[in-house]
C-alpha cells in the first residue's frame, strides 16, 4: 500500500535506532571505575535526517552512474539529496579510548539498493558519508529496513537500523489519481511531478497531469502542454488526442479539434465519444449533415449514450427537421428517465424550441411547464413561456410569467421591454412607459425600447417626449 501524508520525494530514510551505549551500574557508594582497552566500546550514530534519492540508470553492471545533473530540472524541482553522515563514536573516550578499527557494512536486503561509504573503516571517533543508490525498479519499497553494522577489531558488533521508502513512478501516478479523486488537486499534481522527476518520458504521467489541469483546475493551456508531451512519447495514446480535441473545441478551434478527434478514431475506432465530439464540432462549423453521420456512428457503437442522441436532435433542428428532432428528444427522455435534472431541462428546452418552430405553441408551453416542475426558479422557462403567451394574445397570463421571471432576476431588459409591449396592447401606456424606462436603464443602447417608449408617449399625446425618444432611437 502506498504511504499517504507527507510522503517525501524518492527514497526516504528515517532513523529509528541510533546510539547503542553500554549501561553502567549505579553503585550505592562512589568508587572509581576503570576500563581496559579491551573492555572499551563504541557506538554508531546516523544524523537524524531524511535522505531523498532518485533512481540511477545502469549501463554496465555493477557500476552506478553519477548523480543526475541538476540543470536538467526546472528551478522549482529540488534535486534529491543522496547522502547522510554516519559517526562512529567512543563511548568512554575520556576514560579509555576504543583503539580497534571499526569496519562498516550494510545489509540492504534488496538487490535494487546499493549503499556505499566514503570511508568504511577507521578507529573511533571518525565519521563517513553514507551514499544511497537505487536501480530503476517497478517495485515500491515501504519502510524497508536497512542496517548499518559496525564490526570492531576485538569482535564487538554494533548495529543501527533505519527504514527506507521509495515510491515508483507508476505508484506515484496511482497515488495522484487517488488524490485527485479526493479533490486534493495540489497534492495530486505533486505526485505526478514526482513520477516525472524519476521518469521524464512517462507518457501516462503526462496524460493524467493533463487531465488534472484541464478537468479539475481549468488550466487548459497547461493541460494541452501535458497532453502534447504525452503523445510525443507515445503516439498511440488515443486518450490524449481526444483530450487535445476537447480543449481546442472549448477554445472554438473546431478544425483543430476535428483533426484530433479523427486521429482518436483512427487509433480506437470502437470508441463512441470522439465521434460525438466530432459531431459537435461539425455542428459548430454548420456542417450538420456530416455531423449526423458521425453521431449515427456513435449511436451504433453505443445506443444507450444519450449525448449522441442529444446532438443529433440539435443537428436535425438546424436542418429544419423539427418533427424528427422532437422524436429524438422524446427518445432521450424514454432512455434515461433518471437523467440528471439539469440535463433533462436542456432536453425539454430544445424540445420546446422545436415545437415553436412548427407553430405548436400549446405543446411548447406544456414542455416549459415540465421544466418549471423541476425548477420553479428557471428564469428562461418563465421568459419563454411569457413570449409564447404574448404571441397567443394571452396578455394577462404572459404578464404573470414575466413577473415570475423578474422576481428571480429583475435585471433582464428584454423582459421589461416585453412587458411594455403588453401594456401598450392593453392601452395602459403609463405602465408601458415605466417598463420601457426600466429596460433602458438596464440597456441604454436598446433602440427598440426607445422607439416603443416614443410610441407610448405619442399615444398619451405627449409629443415632445415622444420626439425625444424617437431621436434617441434614431441616434442608436
What is the average pLDDT across 220-235? 97
pLDDT for 95 equals 61
Cell of 281: 464540432
pLDDT for 59 equals 31
Between CA 10 and CA 468 the distance in angstroms is 76
Question: Quick check: 66 pLDDT over 70?
Answer: no
What is the average pLDDT across 13-21? 33
Tell me if 432 sits within 8 A of 424, measured CB to CB: yes
Question: Quick check: 4 pLDDT over 80?
Answer: no
Tell me the β-bridge partners of 102: 122, 152
Residues 6+ apart with CB under 8 A from 132: 11, 13, 51, 53, 82, 83, 84, 113, 114, 115, 164
Percent of the chain with pLDDT over 70: 80
Tell me if 114 sits within 8 A of 134, measured CB to CB: yes
Residues 6+ apart with CB under 8 A from 185: 179, 212, 216, 217
CA atoms within 13 A on the CB side of 468: 5
Between CA 163 and CA 116 the distance in angstroms is 16
Tell me the β-bridge partners of 12: 165
Between CA 204 and CA 168 the distance in angstroms is 13
**Segment (H or E) for 467:** helix 463-475
Tell me if 287 sits within 8 A of 256, measured CB to CB: no
pLDDT for 11 equals 39
Residues 6+ apart with CB under 8 A from 73: 79, 197
Question: Is the sign of the CA dihedral 391, 392, 394, 400 positive or negative?
Answer: negative
**Segment (H or E) for 28:** none
CA atoms within 13 A on the CB side of 263: 19
Tell me if 2 sits within 8 A of 162, measured CB to CB: no
Residue carrying the nine cell digits 536486503: 109
Q: Give per-residue pLDDT as tens, 307-342.
A: 999 999 999 999 999 999 999 999 999 988 888 899
What is the average pLDDT across 448-465? 91
Percent of the chain with pLDDT over 90: 58
First CA to last CA distance, the chain: 69
Tell me if 173 sits within 8 A of 189, measured CB to CB: no
Q: Give per-residue pLDDT as tens, 402-416.
A: 999 999 999 999 999
pLDDT for 32 equals 39
Cell of 418: 416585453
Of residues 253 and 137, more confidence is placed in 253
| Mean pLDDT across the chain | 82
Cell of 17: 535506532
pLDDT for 448 equals 92
Confidence at 149, pLDDT banded by 50, 70, 90? confident
- pTM confidence score: 0.71
Between CA 178 and CA 180 the distance in angstroms is 5
Q: Give per-residue pLDDT as tens, 286-295.
A: 999 999 999 9
Strands (E), 184-226: none
pLDDT for 145 equals 76
Question: Quick check: 163 pLDDT over 80?
Answer: no
* Closest to 400 in 3D by CA, of 413, 412, 415, 411: 415
Confidence at 167, pLDDT banded by 50, 70, 90? confident
3-state SS assignment for residue 336: coil
Q: Give per-residue pLDDT as tens, 386-441.
A: 999 999 999 999 999 999 999 999 999 999 999 999 999 999 999 999 999 999 99
pLDDT for 82 equals 55
Q: Which of 55-64, 144-153, 456-465 is the least confident region?
A: 55-64
What is the average pLDDT across 239-268? 97
Amino acid at each position: 500500500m502506498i504511504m499517504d501524508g507527507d510522503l517525501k520525494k524518492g527514497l526516504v530514510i528515517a532513523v529509528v535506532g541510533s546510539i547503542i551505549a553500554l549501561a553502567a551500574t549505579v553503585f550505592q557508594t562512589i568508587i572509581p571505575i576503570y576500563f581496559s582497552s579491551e573492555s572499551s566500546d563504541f557506538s554508531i550514530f546516523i544524523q537524524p535526517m531524511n535522505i531523498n534519492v532518485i533512481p540511477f540508470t545502469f549501463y554496465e553492471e555493477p557500476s552506478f552512474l553519477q548523480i543526475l545533473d541538476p540543470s536538467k530540472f526546472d528551478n522549482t524541482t529540488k534535486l534529491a539529496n543522496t547522502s547522510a553522515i554516519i559517526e562512529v563514536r567512543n563511548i568512554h573516550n575520556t576514560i579509555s579510548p576504543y583503539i580497534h578499527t571499526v569496519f562498516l557494512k550494510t545489509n540492504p536486503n534488496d538487490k535494487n539498493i546499493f549503499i556505499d561509504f566514503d570511508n568504511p573503516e577507521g578507529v573511533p571517533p571518525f565519521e563517513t558519508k553514507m551514499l544511497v543508490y537505487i536501480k530503476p525498479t517497478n517495485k515500491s519499497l515501504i519502510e524497508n529496513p536497512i542496517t548499518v553494522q559496525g564490526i570492531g577489531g576485538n569482535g564487538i558488533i554494533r548495529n543501527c537500523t533505519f527504514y527506507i521508502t521509495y515510491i515508483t513512478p507508476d505508484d506515484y501516478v496511482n497515488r495522484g489519481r487517488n488524490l485527485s479523486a479526493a479533490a486534493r488537486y495540489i497534492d495530486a499534481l505533486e505526485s505526478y511531478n514526482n513520477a516525472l522527476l524519476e521518469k521524464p518520458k512517462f507518457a501516462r504521467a503526462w496524460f493524467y497531469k493533463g487531465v488534472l489541469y484541464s478537468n479539475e483546475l481549468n488550466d487548459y493551456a497547461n493541460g494541452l502542454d501535458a497532453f502534447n508531451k504525452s503523445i510525443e512519447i507515445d503516439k498511440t495514446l488515443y486518450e490524449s488526442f481526444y483530450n487535445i480535441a476537447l480543449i481546442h473545441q472549448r477554445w472554438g478551434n473546431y478544425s483543430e479539434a476535428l483533426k484530433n478527434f479523427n486521429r482518436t478514431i483512427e487509433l480506437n475506432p470502437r470508441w463512441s465519444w470522439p465521434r460525438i465530439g466530432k459531431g459537435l464540432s461539425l455542428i459548430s462549423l454548420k456542417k450538420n449533415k456530416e455531423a449526423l453521420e458521425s453521431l449515427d456512428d456513435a449511436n451504433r457503437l453505443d445506443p444507450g449514450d444519450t449525448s449522441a442522441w442529444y446532438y443529433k436532435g440539435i443537428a436535425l433542428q438546424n436542418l429544419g427537421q423539427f418533427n424528427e428532432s422532437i422524436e429524438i428528444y422524446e427518445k432521450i427522455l424514454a432512455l434515461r428517465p433518471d437523467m440528471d435534472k439539469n440535463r433533462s431541462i436542456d432536453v425539454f428546452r430544445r424540445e420546446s424550441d422545436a415545437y415553436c418552430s412548427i407553430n405548436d405553441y400549446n405543446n411548447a408551453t406544456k414542455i416549459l411547464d415540465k421544466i418549471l416542475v423541476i425548477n420553479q426558479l428557471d428564469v428562461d422557462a418563465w421568459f419563454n413561456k411569457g413570449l409564447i403567451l404574448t404571441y397567443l394574445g394571452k396578455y394577462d397570463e404572459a404578464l404573470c410569467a414575466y413577473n415570475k421571471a423578474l422576481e428571480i432576476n429583475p435585471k433582464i431588459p428584454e423582459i421589461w421591454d416585453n412587458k411594455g409591449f403588453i401594456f401598450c396592447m392593453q392601452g395602459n401606456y403609463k405602465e408601458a412607459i415605466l417598463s420601457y424606462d426600466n429596460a433602458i436603464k438596464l440597456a441604454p443602447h436598446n433602440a427598440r425600447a426607445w422607439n416603443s417608449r416614443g410610441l407610448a408617449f405619442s399615444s398619451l399625446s405627449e409629443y415632445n417626449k415622444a420626439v425625444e425618444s424617437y431621436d434617441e432611437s434614431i441616434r442608436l
